[in-house]
Homo-oligomer: A and B are copies of this chain.
């Protein structure tokens, strides 16, 4: 027989939410259904999260931590700097593809208001900073510090933009030849343009 207290409800809810998020999509994610599948009353989640949005923010925050670890792991396993730079881009996109709903949640309405959930912003910005730190390693050319910085942000934007287009299903195949779009080629083309 089940005990009155679940004992681990908060983490169980987060895990089940994460599962449902990827399986059913974000709009089919309801606190009630979550409680039901976990086998607890409909209002029990409110003992661990003030409201539904808090649950979302908790998921998003853990998502940023996962993403950060994934990026450093993938890029760290590369032999040289150039391949590490390509790899971090590929890794970022892979994470988004393998955790599409979570990724959209991370950059979705959850972090709409900066001051309401500062810890979310911290993890988000630290994640980008990690990416930028890696990119900056590449740029030891005799450029001005300001130019270097803009190139770095451009690289980050480039990866984010490719991620968006891929998630949106926009197939950037060649209009004439019909050749498939190859992300790693695109990243290498950008790298070759660096000073």
Which A residues contact B (CB, under 8 angstroms)? 25-27, 107, 109, 111-112, 114, 121, 124-125, 128-129, 145-147, 149-151, 153-154, 156-162, 164-165, 168-170, 172, 174-177, 179, 181, 185-186, 189-190, 193-195
Contacts and interface: CB of A to CB of B under 8 A. Distances in A.
Contacts of A107: 164, 168
Main secondary structure of the interface of A (DSSP, over half): helix
A174 B146 CA distance: 8
Contacts of A26: 109
Given A114-B169, A168-B124, A189 B156 contact: no
A152 to B, nearest CB: 9
A124 B161 contact: no
Given A107-B168, A168-B107, A194-B193, A162 B151 contact: no
How many copies of this chain are found per oligomer?
A: 2
Given A107-B164, A109-B27, A174 B149 contact: yes
A23 B185 CA distance: 42
Contacts of A168: 107, 111, 124
* 4 closest cross-chain pairs (CB), A and B: A157-B161, A161-B161, A160-B161, A193-B193
Contacts of A158: 154, 157-158, 161
Contacts of A165: 128, 153, 156-157, 160
Nearest to A53: B27
A154 B145 CA distance: 23
Contacts of A27: 109
